Amino acid sequence: MKKWLAALGFLLLLAVGIAAAGWSWWQRELHRPFKGYAGEVEIDIPSGTATAAILDRLATQGILDNAELTRLYLRLEGSPSLQAGRYRFDEALTVAQVIDRLHRGDVVLRPAILIEGLTLEEAATGLAEQGFGDRDQFLRLFRDPSLIHDLDPEAESLEGYIYPDTYHFPHGTTEASVVESLVGTFLRRYHEQVEPLLPPGSGRTVREIVTLASVVEKEAQLDSERATIAGVYSNRLRRGIALYADPTVIYALKLAGRWDGNIRKSDLAMDSPYNTYLYPGLPPGPICSAGVRSLVAAAQPADVPYLYFVSRNDGSHVFAATLSEHNRNVDKWQKQYWRERWAKERALSDGAAN
């Protein structure tokens, strides 16, 4: 009996020892960072992929050392769901860290850049060139104003209502989801940063503000001048004076497929509702996507006496309150400036030739 009890005690001690050793190995394996690949690796997990297939693929790629061990870990953890998507790995990770990344859906995000001042056509081209979808599909979605119908019932497209910014989208994001994000960002920025600036009872519609902001966006290069340029245009609108804004004519030429990078005197006579040389008031709608700085300027134009401005050819402008003052500025900063510049260039060219 004593021998039997001793044997039983020995077996119990042995089992405890084995269990302890097994537990120690289990914990060591779970917490051992592993990297079985060189550099970095990206892996796509299609939607609907079974958990076992995901773990096998992670092991094949060298992200996990032991798929079976990970399956056991998942069962003990209550089988957390693993998200589909593209994942990037570039460092040694423990089993728990790999599973946590897939459970959270920490997928690879790619930047999509939309700069200020793009038309819908240009935005569609840019998004397609950056690999976010089909250009024609983007254009079809951009031409559907339903996303902003409540904000601007008169809108015939999303022109002016996609917000220029740097976005980050996961691999496989649809064109529709991209467009919804661009419009959603515009709506959020407008309601948070622009709408509160409007005085109660101003009577100005969202469409008027966005349209003015789009013209300011194309005219202003310096942030310090945006509100002043908006003030100039606001003064002209109040007095019924045509805006004489070249960017609106350029937009009309783009719509007609005639824009080649140069605006000519004959273009200023083009019969288009967007030609603000012919038709007083704002153009029928926005001519590009304005950033928040131009939107703010349009909502709060500077209280200035100016009716005119002309470029100094360095990104800045000189402003005038009277036509005679403006004509002097045009003579100085356009006619005289370019005569002198062309003369210097000819002299340098002649000197080089000799």
Digit-coded pLDDT (tens) for 237-269: 999 999 999 999 999 999 999 999 899 989 999
| Per-residue model confidence (pLDDT) at position 78 | 77
* Residue 27's pLDDT band (cuts 50, 70, 90): low
> Each residue of 151-200: pLDDT tens digit?
999 999 999 999 999 999 998 899 999 999 999 999 999 999 999 999 88
Say how many Å lie between the first and final Cα of the chain, rounded: 120
Q: How far apart are CA 33 and CA 294, in angstroms?
A: 50
Whether 142 contacts 157, CB under 8 Å: yes
pLDDT at 10 over 50: no
> Each residue of 288-325: pLDDT tens digit?
999 999 999 999 999 999 999 999 989 999 999 999 99
> Each residue of 68-106: pLDDT tens digit?
888 888 888 777 889 999 999 999 999 989 999 999 999
E-strand ranges in the chain read 41-45, 85-89, 109-113, 166-170, 308-311, 317-320
**Token pair listed for 303:** 């209280």
Residues with Cβ within 8 Å of 7's Cβ and at least 6 positions away in sequence, in order, are none
pTM of the model: 0.83
- State residue 308 phi and psi, 5-degree precision: -140, 155
Q: Where are the domains of the chain?
A: 25-104, 110-195, 205-306, 307-354
- Enter the CATH code of domain 307-354: 3.30.160
pLDDT at 343 over 80: no
Where is average pLDDT lowest: 17-21, 197-201, 229-233?
Answer: 17-21
Alpha helix stretches (DSSP H) within 143-266? 175-189, 206-219, 223-239, 246-255
pLDDT at 140 over 90: yes
Q: How far apart are CA 93 and CA 32, in angstroms?
A: 8
- Enter the DSSP assignment of 39: S
Where is average pLDDT lowest: 9-23, 99-113, 326-340?
Answer: 9-23
Q: How far apart are CA 132 and CA 236, in angstroms?
A: 41
In CATH, 25-104 is 3.40.50.10140: no
Beta strand 166-170 with 109-113: parallel, antiparallel or unpaired?
antiparallel
72-98: burial string, b at 16+ Cβ within 10 Å, e else? ebbeeeeeeebbbbebebeeebebeeb
Indicate the residue type of 175. E
What are the DSSP calls for 153-173, one per residue?
TT-SS-TT-S--SEEEEETT-
* 276 closest CA partner among 318, 232, 319, 314: 232
Indicate the residue type of 328. R
* Residue 336's pLDDT band (cuts 50, 70, 90): confident
Cα dist from 22 to 27, 79, 321, whole Å? 9, 22, 87
Residues with Cβ within 8 Å of 286's Cβ and at least 6 positions away in sequence, in order, are 159, 160, 161, 207, 210, 211, 213, 214
